[in-house]
Structure 1
């Protein structure tokens, strides 16, 4: 692009949102220097988060005017990181409307407690492009106000939604995420200063020792787990499965499998294969709750809880698991595990899971009671495969044999899934594992 191109007025370029629960990113490297021109889609910079690294593309053709942050700086999502001149012939930045909003500094104070559609007409809001203040901590833009009116959200309810914008400002994405989660604070009531019973402020002696500050990812995991337990009524069901045939087949064929496909054959793709088949039999397990509606997913995307080098867990996702054969599943799982171990996972690798498996047996656990990976309806935990003496019913009489046994546990959201569905689904997974075809060709 030549420098004689005509440009539109300079526009702000903000740190993009790179996934659920991610509120900031670290600038790894700027790929375009100040004064350089770029084309639409060119990588402007690379950003790292606690989960993945992301390349941020240019929204349109233009020129880099200024950079507000340097390599290594940690920047909140939504913060202006650069000033761009966009080519007159190119497309405009999608966040231009947000830029305009941030330039508005006047605020209209209101004491109204509900969003009445008759209190302020839409024409008035569109003509007065200003933010107004509900209380000392909450700022509402006309866009958020419009969304609240459409969904009948009161000012009190808006005040309960955590804002991720600057100074706690509510953003469109905050309200959208809140609606997707089923409006968990819709009927929340403030705790009165004086009541008949108060939770005592117990001063526990937590002891002395080395202080280890939680990293950001551990804090996000903590928040996600607490939210899941608070939001979904968890119930856990258990079965045990005889994996003797599966274990023997894998042991006899893993060398040939690696030779033929150049892929290591672990139990994970075998488990995913059985789970995907069971989901096809019981599709309601593959769902999420949206308010009073249940969304039964079209795709079967299996997340697998994987340990990072830091000890934290992340859930990379095998997309369309039901459409992959065993060597494709093995390849997908091996690639994702390798990426996780080397902190190379991208945002797309951890998106769109519809059901999750947690292999607690990897750590030697007999079984587990996993917490649901929101917004899914259920999660499966597979325990350690352990040799055990079992009574086997044969045509010529009962025998005691050494068998490879494993416990399976399914935690499910009782708002969506009842005991019959959960038990049937869990038993079907175990059946597929037990009825493994020992004559299967690699």
Structure 2
């Protein structure tokens, strides 16, 4: 028999760590190749980790609720003799793994904290024995917020063995970065978050589930990162509504897919994004990354009430039946908690249909690292004054408000307003004679 290391596999382009949910095996258990032995969770979805070979689990090296890095050893096992050759990695792959593992963490010199620094705030205590191994995700967040390595070392860490987690940084930023200006002087300097002792009331305490905590972190991070501006327009969807009502049954018979409004929205938004490529960007320090793919995320409610954003990749290159099939498939997987990491990553622009909940309009928070998000309100019949050559007439029209929240660092009012108006124009100028 040979000893194998079971490592956390790569689970998506932007995934660098995961939380252990539950081991499905114990030390000494016999397992078969591809048998699910572990459940893990990232900031997007939950996943299962299979056994790399048949054999016996010899040691579990991490426990439930611990955070592990991609490539970190989680357990060891003794592989069966007939499995040994097939699971041995080529030398090139081993070398690659070694290189990757070195990139997983950054080692920093320990920072000495003086007594004066410890008294920076009455409600904030600086830690002296920080673990100075920082993950690439932590370093990336620190870079975006211009947090130095010395300041990172002063942030209280709640991760395993004193490791700094992204939630620790978000909490620290939310508190006003109280250690930002800590120096070896008697009096503290810089803004300090006051301890207001707010009365939060009494009642039944409901602990946030893991996903709700991650959503909260993501929303706070987005508001701290991007100066949000929201613009609004009103669109007349009468032609689109009438076309859908006239064709939805035939569409389902022909393609076996329900024709909701979401595929029509995705199609129109992808066309508008193509017209205004500077909406399809992300910010990296002082650089703007113009994406070469138009991947439309669609905010979707889970059975728990939490939201997740599955993604229609290359939406500008797909016809309506294909988009409808993907939208229906992603929505069904979301309802059944079956989404994979690749299906919830890589979005470059997001649509949030707040009209689903009966809302007239919304002011959505940008889905980082994107720079804009569109909210579509409820489609509502209303009497409107229509202008014709022979005079004005009052007609019943299908109206909807659209709102666009954008990152004012890189999207100014002209670009944001022009893009939003273009989306509305595509909604309004719907071809009633189109085929599918």
TM-score normalized with structure 2 length: 0.77
- Pick one of 39, 49, 57 that aligns with 2:41: 49
**TM superposition shift of 1:16:** 4.6
SS state of the match for residue 13, structure 1?
Answer: strand
1:401 aligns with 2:395: yes
Where in structure 2 are the equivalents of 1:215-294 lying within 5 Å?
215-294=209-288
**TM superposition shift of 1:253:** 0.5
Q: Can you list the C-alpha shifts for 1:405-441, whole angstroms capped at 9, x where unaligned? A: 0000000001111110001100000000000000012
- Pick one of 396, 405, 411 that aligns with 2:405: 411
The verdict on how the C-alpha distance between 1:422 and 1:109 changes in structure 2, with shifts beyond 3 A counting, is closer
**TM superposition shift of 1:53:** 3.7
SS state of the match for residue 82, structure 1?
Answer: strand
Partner of 1:66: 58
The verdict on how the C-alpha distance between 1:194 and 1:74 changes in structure 2, with shifts beyond 3 A counting, is closer
1:137 aligns with 2:130: yes
Where in structure 2 are the equivalents of 1:168-179 lying within 5 Å?
168-169=162-163
**In structure 1, distance between residues paired with 2:287 and 2:409:** 11
- Pick one of 60, 70, 75 that aligns with 1:82: 75
SS state of the match for residue 75, structure 2?
Answer: strand
The verdict on how the C-alpha distance between 1:365 and 1:438 changes in structure 2, with shifts beyond 3 A counting, is same
**TM superposition shift of 1:210:** 1.4
Equivalent pair of 1:46/1:53 in contact (CA under 8 Å): no
**In structure 2, distance between residues paired with 1:33 and 1:263:** 48
**TM superposition shift of 1:57:** 5.6
**TM superposition shift of 1:97:** 7.3
**TM superposition shift of 1:68:** 1.0
**TM superposition shift of 1:76:** 2.7
Partner of 1:346: 340
Equivalent pair of 2:182/2:188 in contact (CA under 8 Å): no
**TM superposition shift of 1:349:** 1.1
**In structure 1, distance between residues paired with 2:260 and 2:329:** 13
**In structure 1, distance between residues paired with 2:191 and 2:291:** 44
Equivalent pairs counted in the alignment come to 393
Give unpaired runs (5+ residues) of structure 2.
Answer: 115-126, 171-175
Partner of 1:423: 417
Partner of 1:436: 430
**TM superposition shift of 1:231:** 0.6
Partner of 1:25: 20
SS state of the match for residue 371, structure 1?
Answer: coil
Equivalent pair of 1:305/1:315 in contact (CA under 8 Å): yes
**In structure 2, distance between residues paired with 1:329 and 1:27:** 36
**In structure 2, distance between residues paired with 1:142 and 1:236:** 34
**TM superposition shift of 1:209:** 1.7
**TM superposition shift of 1:49:** 2.5
The verdict on how the C-alpha distance between 1:90 and 1:309 changes in structure 2, with shifts beyond 3 A counting, is same
SS state of the match for residue 254, structure 2?
Answer: helix
**In structure 2, distance between residues paired with 1:405 and 1:142:** 48
TM-score normalized with structure 1 length: 0.76
**In structure 2, distance between residues paired with 1:339 and 1:404:** 31
